[in-house]
Amino acid sequence: MNDPQFVEAARQLATRAMRSAKGFDGRLDSVTEWLLARRMSSQERAVVRRLLDKSLTAYQKDPRAAEALIGVGESKPDKAFPAAELAAWTLVASEIMNLDESLTK
């Protein structure tokens, strides 16, 4: 699942969610409704929120790592979003894409 096409697909999904909603809940709902055809429970949201917060902090401290992640693939990242935020949401999208529920849907 770390294939460049998969990482790029996660980034595109993250970009789409970021364009469609401003806050955490709206963005997460966008991703999960597209992939799982449902919204996450409060417990699931808490897990995803921790991932997003940790990732965002890490990418804000290491902007080159954020640029490296969002630079994977042939399409260019959307410069309308900060690299650290887009990278963190890319990890969230990737995590949800890797759920058994997504893979077997």
Position 99 scores a pLDDT of: 94
70 Cβ neighbours under 8 A, 6+ residues apart: 11, 77, 83, 86, 87, 90
Task: Measure the N-to-C terminal CA separation of the chain; round to a whole number of Å.
Answer: 17
Position 103 scores a pLDDT of: 86
Can you list the pairs that 46-49 forms with residues at least 24 positions away whose Cβ atoms lie under 8 Å? 48/92, 48/95, 48/96, 49/24
Position 44 scores a pLDDT of: 97
Position 1 scores a pLDDT of: 57
Q: pLDDT digit string (tens) for 2-61? A: 689 999 999 999 999 999 999 999 999 999 999 999 999 999 999 999 999 999 999 999
Model pTM score = 0.95
Position 105 scores a pLDDT of: 63
Task: Show me where the domains of the chain are located.
Answer: 4-103
